[in-house]
């Protein structure tokens, strides 16, 4: 990627994160967030997105009430990977670009060194994800629970 395009991508990250949180506030989870779904800071691919009301939403009783919060946390986890990818690319540029200081989720290593808190005690709910095979703990909650959209 050329230097100007990398700098534009880094400059778009704070707005992209605000827009993702706004989607969550409006009851929408993307579920398969990747950097390829963005063009010039705009999210274009919502092909796997779920919205409230949904057949698997909390009001249907098929899935637990924390399902949409878990999927929103997964979106933020994926966006955190996008930020890390952009920052690594910025540091590889010649001369290096200033990395973004956007934070999509909390730093697990940093919170591991702090005193225990009620929210950090186990057992955690599982984090539901769309396309990854592993399992993750839902040890943080997104700013907005999409299931609370009315």
pLDDT tens-digit map of 116-133: 666 556 566 667 766 666
Q: Which two tokens stand for residue 21?
A: 């949180």
Rounded-to-integer distance, Cα 145 and Cα 70, Å: 9
Model confidence, pTM:
0.81
61's CB contacts (< 8 A; 6+ apart) are none
Rounded-to-integer distance, Cα 147 and Cα 49, Å: 14
pLDDT tens, 65-105?
A: 788 888 888 899 899 999 999 999 999 988 889 998 888 87
Of 15-24, 68-77, 141-150, which gets the smallest average pLDDT? 141-150
């Amino acid at each position: 990627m050329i230097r100007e395009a990398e700098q534009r991508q880094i400059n778009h990250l704070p707005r992209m994160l605000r827009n993702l949180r706004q989607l969550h506030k409006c009851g929408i989870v993307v579920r398969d967030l990747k950097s390829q779904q963005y063009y010039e800071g705009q999210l274009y691919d919502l092909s796997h997105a779920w919205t409230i009301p949904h057949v698997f939403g909390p009001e249907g009783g098929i899935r637990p009430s924390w399902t949409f919060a878990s999927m929103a946390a997964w979106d933020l986890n994926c966006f955190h990977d996008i930020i890390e990818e952009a920052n690594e690319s910025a540091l590889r540029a010649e001369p290096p670009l200033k990395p973004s200081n956007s934070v999509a989720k909390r730093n697990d290593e940093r919170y591991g060194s702090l005193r225990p808190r009620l929210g950090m005690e186990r057992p955690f709910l599982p984090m539901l994800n769309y396309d990854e095979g592993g399992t993750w703990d839902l040890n943080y909650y997104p700013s907005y629970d999409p299931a609370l959209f009315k």
